[in-house]
Amino acid sequence: MEYFVDAIKMLLGNNSELRDIVAVTLQMSFFSTTISMLIGMPLGVLIGSRHFVGKRYLVRVIHTLMGLPPVVAGLIVFLLLSRSGPFGEFQLLFSVPAMVIAQVVLITPIIMGLTASITSVRANSLLETSRGIGIPRRKEIGLLLYEARIQLIAVMMTGFGRAISEVGAVQIVGGNVQFKTRVMTTAIMLETNKGNFELAVALGIVLLLISLIINSFAQRLQEERND
């Protein structure tokens, strides 16, 4: 109880380290989710709405990548961005962009797989209707995205929730550098190991509040759709 009270005082106080950790976390999660959406949603719509040779195997690969261990993704990105790697000249390792790249590797298959599952249910009837009224094929993806917008917002929230709660990949490529790449999950792990439970609990409270807001928003959208 004492740690909880101290954590509340820290949240209400003027703690620059806590503010910086939360800011870096939100920045990383926002950009990684946005990039993953721009890549994963259009590809998911194409996969879900089209029939082509090898689709079954491609879907299996995507489902496998949806469960990709974060440390494996972090290791792959680390090797690519290290000095001896193909992208080492950009010197991105131990930076927020490196963490964003690792998160995109993790989140994009999730958004792609969920989007494909959602659009595959709606695709047949919707595409028949669109072709019947003469909608060009190039606009069909946009139509599918619009018709499934409520579910896709929930997919976006799922991706953001994965990004903000991830620890393994960002620890490897970010290095948990204070005031630079330290995010809430890696900071909680570090401060707990150091015995600094006040900051760890404070960050845990913030993380739970953000998760509550995300889940509440997604549930509200689902309830509005059902109504």
Token pair in block for residue 132 = 């019947």
How far is CA 177 from each of CA 11, 31, 51, 70, 195, rounded to the nearest angstrom?
21, 19, 47, 19, 18
Residue 147: predicted pLDDT: 75
Q: What single DSSP character describes residue 138? A: G
Give the confidence band of 143 by pLDDT, cuts at 50, 70, 90: confident
* Least confident span in 21-30, 35-44, 135-144: 135-144
Evaluate if residue 227 carries a pLDDT over 60: no
Least confident of 29-38, 127-136, 188-197: 127-136
Per-residue pLDDT at 172: 94
User: Containing domain of residue 10, as a range?
Assistant: 2-226
* CA angle (95 as vertex; 93, 100 as ends), nearest 5: 95
Q: Report how many domains make up the chain.
A: 1
What average pLDDT does the segment 60-79 reach? 93
Any idea which of 32-36, 133-137, 174-178, 202-206 has the lowest mean pLDDT? 133-137
CATH code of the domain in which 47 resides: 1.10.3720.10
What pTM value is reported for the model? 0.89
Nearest to 15 by CA among 181, 209, 200: 200
Helix-helix angle 16-49:149-165, to 10 degrees: 140
Mean per-residue pLDDT of the chain: 85
Residue 16 neighbours by CB distance under 10 Å = 8
What does the pLDDT read at residue 27?
A: 94
Structure confidence at residue 77 (pLDDT): 95
